[in-house]
Structure 1
């Protein structure tokens, strides 16, 4: 296990290759520096954590109550009542993704994950997106899995190669993409059959959450809603499977 001083506190490498910062000063400084933090763990009943909680929530970082056993498992006895798990990747901006497409001389090809909460699904989507040549993946800051070590591992390392943006508001992001000439296609059971769609040109594919599909406002702001043919008795597909089919349907046009 490798330990090093940082942010006037400690960063500890765990068995899962997740990096943990612990101690009030260390976590506060990392938050102020807007380091890519996945989750902040606060000891239940701990005092003096208001600033940390406020900074984390302002940045859309998940804050979890944690018991003594959880914090000890993450970083040992001297945790100081708080710990933070660093993200497995550094996030980029939506503008970075658009610039990536421009640098290739091709129309943008973007994947948007609308509140995908299962890290295995998000990892699988990222893996397929990288393989299909997408310019980037966009995820929301709230009610979504982040690129933690589980997601990174499930992506088979693809998360290190594809640009991933984490945004505060998906609807605003969709509107921004439209201003750049990107057509936005959502995936829902009641949409236009995929074989009737023209997926050429600049496009973003929106994959809805596992349990609820596309959010109401997200769906309303899609240019087109697409559906896949279903011939069995089960009326839905796993989110990452659906994403993979749609991505490679788009690849046909690129």
Structure 2
């Protein structure tokens, strides 16, 4: 197995350093709980509220309160930041994460959160834009490009798609043709751009500050 193929493999639950041991006392009479986890303990990367719950029960509970923003990221070069973006999207409860380009992506950075996050694949930017516009969702590019509107002063829509490019080149030329607006993140140092995973976290949190209750 090559290094790239190995990176496609998700992190196993038993690789994670946190969790709880077997359930102590009488088992709960609740179908949301997983008998195997109750017996052996729960080492998953989940908040305490979901300890010992079945994965399907966790996803169903999250689906009741997901936010209305989507996150999309281009995947042409097997970007190692995609897993980090998925993990952050899960933390901020994004509606979906959209992978544009290559179907395979590096899952290790997601730290198993992709099991609880809805992920959709699009073959290219035109397909993503068509999907979004059919649902009246504006596509908002995030990149420090000439003419970009500062994220700090922009009123993000309640529902929309935040689109990020690859680490290094940023949004591709095709992506720039399909966005409804491009936003920049204020920087004050010497670097031209910040890490794609960090940019995604900043943009998602900007939406949270404006719209999350």
- CA, structure 1 residues 118+168, in 2 after alignment: closer, same or farther (shift >3 Å)? closer
SS in 2 for 1:171: helix
- CA, structure 1 residues 119+165, in 2 after alignment: closer, same or farther (shift >3 Å)? same
Residue 74 of structure 1 corresponds to: none
Residue 175 of structure 2 corresponds to: 218
RMSD value, Cα: 2.7
SS in 1 for 2:121: strand
Q: Shift of the alpha carbon at 1:121? A: 0.7
The CA distance in 2 between the partners of 1:122 and 1:152, in whole Å, is 8
TM-score, normalised with respect to structure 1? 0.54
Q: Which runs of 5+ in 1 are unaligned?
A: 1-14, 20-99
Residue 138 of structure 2 corresponds to: 183
The CA distance in 1 between the partners of 2:135 and 2:100, in whole Å, is 20
1:157 and 2:105 are equivalent in the alignment: no
2:166 aligned to which of 209, 230, 242 = 209
Q: Shift of the alpha carbon at 1:18? A: 4.9
Residue 23 of structure 1 corresponds to: none
Residue 152 of structure 2 corresponds to: 195
Higher strand share: 1
CA contact 2:99–2:122 (8 Å) conserved in 1: yes
CA contact 2:140–2:163 (8 Å) conserved in 1: yes
TM-score, normalised with respect to structure 2? 0.64
The CA distance in 2 between the partners of 1:215 and 1:16, in whole Å, is 24
Residue 68 of structure 2 corresponds to: 108
Q: Shift of the alpha carbon at 1:106? A: 6.9
Q: Shift of the alpha carbon at 1:108? A: 2.9
The CA distance in 1 between the partners of 2:160 and 2:142, in whole Å, is 13
1:137 and 2:94 are equivalent in the alignment: no
Q: Which runs of 5+ in 2 are unaligned?
A: 1-5, 11-59
SS in 2 for 1:189: coil
After superposition, give the CA deviation of every residue in 1:130-154 in whole Å (9 maximum; x if it has no partner): 0011011111243x7x24xxx3332
Aligned length: 154
The CA distance in 2 between the partners of 1:209 and 1:127, in whole Å, is 17
Larger radius of gyration: 1
After superposition, give the CA deviation of every residue in 1:207-226 in whole Å (9 maximum; x if it has no partner): 01112211212212111100
Residue 125 of structure 1 corresponds to: 85
Residue 192 of structure 2 corresponds to: 235
Residue 81 of structure 1 corresponds to: none
The CA distance in 2 between the partners of 1:117 and 1:221, in whole Å, is 20
